[in-house]
A and B are shown apart, each in its own frame.
Chain A
Amino acid sequence: MTADLARIGPLHQWGGLFATLPDSVQVLTEQFVAQVDLRLDPAGPAGADVAAYLGVALPEAPNTWVQGDTATVIWLGPDEWLVTSPFASPEALEAGLREAVGADGAVVDVSAQRTTLRLRGAHAADVLASGCAVDLHPSVFATGSAAQTTVGMAGIVLLALDDSASDYRLLVRSTFARYLASWLLDAAQEHS
């Protein structure tokens, strides 16, 4: 009598509200991705092994993210990264990274911690700027830029996906997702 439980995100019922937004401020819920928190000394031996496993070097510059063939790596701190992948299961990504890291770091599956939103459109940066103090001008925040910061009262990881301040990915803690969604809908009002 066991039923297969479908995986649902915290914003799975918000599509209808997001659909009412104008083209200049598009909010979309993104697919579930495996997320693993990685901590290691980038100068130690584990960094190269992880880079070989992921196919991309860990970004050491603060406030950046890089895209590999199967995974995205986001800088969270001088010895901390968030690795996300839509291709691997959380268990597989955690196991693969743990094997690469060995005893020289820590690998923790945090897939359930955050959900992912996409914010797109000509007014995307304007909407964020009404509640986010980070400088979002594309001359300083463009493709490859990342920031751990706050939007309204919610902590987010913000990724810039283009060079024209019109495409962002927002990772938000699942319990704050509905707050952030409400906030974005409210902030988008003045552009509709």
Chain B
Amino acid sequence: MIELPCPWCGPRGVSEFRYVGEGATRPDPATATPQEWRAYLYLHENARGWVRENWYHTAGCRRFFKLERETESNETRAAT
């Protein structure tokens, strides 16, 4: 099982978490065009290598947090 480092609870099994998506910067809803908003919601990088992701600790502290993950090896580290 992959282990993820919750910034509050410490290392926990991945089944305690929910993947929330790539850590893209949210455009300002007041000024974003529909195209920009669609790209933010639906177009993902799906990169190979180190990526920033959002996760939610469903079975633990129920907090959202950012994480860095190596998508080939599933190595993880706290987001800087």
Q: Which chain A residue lies CB-closest to B8?
A: A62
Q: Decide if A76 touches B59 in the complex (CB within 8 Å).
A: no
**In the assembled complex, A133 has its CB within 8 A of some CB on chain B:** yes
CA distance A134 to B60 in the complex (A): 11
Q: Is the interface of B mostly helix, strand, loop or mixed?
A: loop
**In the assembled complex, A72 has its CB within 8 A of some CB on chain B:** no
CA distance A62 to B9 in the complex (A): 6
Q: How large is the interface on A (under 10, 10 to 19, 20 to 34, 35 or more residues)?
A: 10 to 19
* Interface residue from B10, B13, B59, B63 paired with A78 (Cβ < 8 Å): B63
* Interface residue from B8, B13, B63 paired with A133 (Cβ < 8 Å): B13
**In the assembled complex, B33 has its CB within 8 A of some CB on chain A:** no
Chain A contacts of B13 at CB under 8 A?
A: 133
Q: Decide if B61 touches A78 in the complex (CB within 8 Å).
A: yes
Chain B contacts of A67 at CB under 8 A?
A: none
Contact with B along A147-178 (1 / 0, CB 8 A): 11110000100000000000000000000000
